[in-house]
Amino acid sequence: MKLYYIILEEQQLGPFNVHELAQHTLTKSTLVWYEGLEDWTPAGTVEELRPLLHSVPPPIKKENKAVQNEGVAAPFLWGMRKVRFFTLAVITVVLLVFLSFQYQQMESSRIDRMNRETESQNRLVEEEMKAQKEKMDEEKRIAQQRKLEQDRKKIKDQVMVLKSQYQLIESELLDAQATLNDVSGFKLLRSGSQRKAQIAAATQRVEELEKNKAAIVAEMKLLMEQLSRLE
């Protein structure tokens, strides 16, 4: 059985018998070789291969192609069929609109979230400032109360001291008045000048004690008024 070699797409294939060659697309110009040939020869020159040959239409002439294009609109746009091009364009526009809508939704959500976080932080800051203010007010109130108590105690202590001084002066005044009565009488043996000197000294002592007593009473009155205002 004769075996054939062929060249298709610049590749040597084979060997094939006639039935196997029928599975390949052979034309008149396909080069073949079999034992007995000196060189490769077109398949159209081999009698037994002619039933296997496929006819290839001749190339379109430029003038015929131009006439055809004048009567029919070009089915391509930018290297793609118009239907596919416009379909992709519509899909692209829809996709861009969808993505834009999604972006706006995400941006709106992000802004709302930031606003909520800001409001939450502001509330926390306000609550913290309010708590600090309340704490400072309470500390101030306690300090004022403490100072008020200290002032009251101080005044009360001063009043107690003045009361003690008043009692002492009152006792000394009674003694001074008794002395003045004694020196003013004639029971004591002394000269007239001595009597006058003793009366003057006793009188001066009484007046001095009464003056001190009045000063203490006035000071005690002033302190009691201050204490009354602090109550």
Q: 80-81 and 76-77: which strand pairing?
A: antiparallel
**Residues forming a β-bridge with 7:** 12, 31
* Fold adopted by 145-230: Helix Hairpins (1.10.287)
* Residue entry with tokens 């008024």: 225
Structural domain spans, the chain: 4-77, 145-230
Enter the pTM of the model.
0.43
Cα separation, 66 vs 69, in Å, equals 5
Per residue of the chain (231 residues), give pLDDT as tens: 789 999 988 899 989 988 888 888 888 889 999 998 899 999 889 888 888 887 655 555 555 454 444 444 455 556 667 777 788 889 999 999 999 999 999 998 899 899 989 998 999 999 999 999 999 999 999 998 899 899 989 999 999 999 999 999 999 999 999 888 888 876 666 677 888 888 899 899 999 999 999 999 999 999 999 988 887
Q: Beta strands of 40-195 (E only): which ranges?
A: 41-42, 76-77, 80-81
